[in-house]
Each structure stands twice: as structure tokens, then as C-alpha cells.
Amino acid sequence: MMKTLSTLLLFFISFLAVAQESDSTKVRSKRNAFGFKENFTELISKPGIRNGLTQIFDDQVILAYGLYKNDKRVGRWRFFKQKDSVEQIFNYDLKKADYNQPINSISYVIDSLKEGDRVIKPVKIGGFRMAFKAIFQESHHYGIPYNSAGYDQFYIFTINERGDLEKVEEKLSSKSYSTNLTELNIKRFLNDEFRFIPAYVNGKPVKSKIVIKAKLTVS
């Protein structure tokens, strides 16, 4: 009997804790720094502090969802390349990608590699779909000659051995015209959407570059 009462009491206390937690939060919507809509749960006692489920949308298409705890991402987040197509599943507790879809337009540069080195490529946490919009907002192409074939557009992310984004550079190239490397302003990029895991060579973190190739049409 005492064991049953203890079990019921424990259940009741747990129920109160959950109820109290739900009573202390509310759901809000806002546009994030890149113009995407966020539906998120925040603490009533601390406005702006996310605590619970968050969903990120581009119009009506979901880009990502996962949990926050005291404004930090926790657990497994899913990031979508397009509707119903997962680009990445990232475990923030373990700090590793459970799934990362290969992208043909992305290459990696690591200096001083030797034959036989064991290489782990750097990882852009959260995939690249949301990152692209931020990059395009910082790209300005004035006075570029018309080219019916368009331009090859390269974005180069430099990641240090701690996984910090050091700089983002852009270059345009065609058969008849090319630009010098232009460094973009990365102040707006230093947030949840621009976190990285560094490259590793023989078990040690190293500096690396992620190169993204796109196509730019100039009319």
C-alpha cells in the first residue's frame, strides 16, 4: 500500500512539474535575421528566451525544427533542403551530424595533406539552405558585363581549427571575365545558422575551407 501511495505521489509531483513548465511558456512567431519565419516557445518570465519546440519556415515550406532549452539548441534538429527532403539531422547534445546529405556543388580544401592521412571533412551545422539566403543578401554585383552563359559563382568559407567562421569570400568567373576574391561582411553570420564542426586530419582539428559553386545569371 505504501509503495502504491509513493508511486502515485511521485506521478502527481511529476505531473505538476510538467504542468508548471507548460504554464510558464507561450508560443510566438517572428522573422529571424534572414527573413525566415520562426514559430517558437519562449519563457514568460524571460521574454525572448526560447524554451521548447521551434519551427523555421520559408513561406509555408518548413526549413528546420527542433528544441531549445534556455535559448540553446538541444537534441536532434532536422534541416530540410526542400519539402520532404532532409538535408541534415544534427545532434546538438553529441555535437555530431547523424545524417548529412552530400551536395555535388560543394568541395573542401585542407592544406598540407599527405598520402595516407585520415581526413574528416568539416560540417556546416544546419545545412546550407538558410545560409544561402544570408550570403546572397551580402552579395552585390554592380557593373558586371552581360554574359548569356552566366557566371560561375564561388563562395569560400574559411573555418579555423575550433570550428569558428573566420571569413566568407566570393568570386565570379566566366571564360571572358572574372573578379578578384571579395570578402563579405560576416557580422550577421555569427549566429546559430553559421556554426561549424572543424575538419580533422589524423584525429586533430585543422583549418579548412568549404567551397560552394553556384550559377549567377546577369540580365
pLDDT in 10s for each residue of the chain, 219 residues: 444 444 434 434 443 343 334 557 888 898 887 788 999 998 888 888 999 999 999 888 899 999 999 999 999 999 998 777 899 999 999 999 999 998 888 999 999 899 999 999 999 999 888 777 777 766 666 567 666 677 888 999 999 999 999 999 988 888 777 778 888 887 766 677 788 999 999 999 999 999 998 887 766
Question: d(Cα 111, Cα 208) in Å, to the nearest integer?
Answer: 7
Q: d(Cα 112, Cα 117) in Å, to the nearest integer?
A: 10
Strands 195-197 and 199-201: unpaired
Dist. CA 178–CA 153, nearest whole Å: 10
Across the beta sheet with 85-91, what order do the strands follow?
A: 25-31, 37-43, 50-58, 61-69, 72-82, 85-91, 96-100
* SS3 (DSSP) at 163: coil
User: Closest by alpha carbon to 136, among 172, 184, 180?
Assistant: 184
Give the DSSP H or E segment for 126. none
What is residue 3's predicted lDDT score, i.e. its pLDDT?
A: 42
At residue 205, φ and ψ (nearest 5 deg) are: -70, 140
DSSP code, position 185: P
Strand residues in 1-49 grouped as ranges (E): 25-31, 37-43
> 160: which 3 cell numbers?
579555423
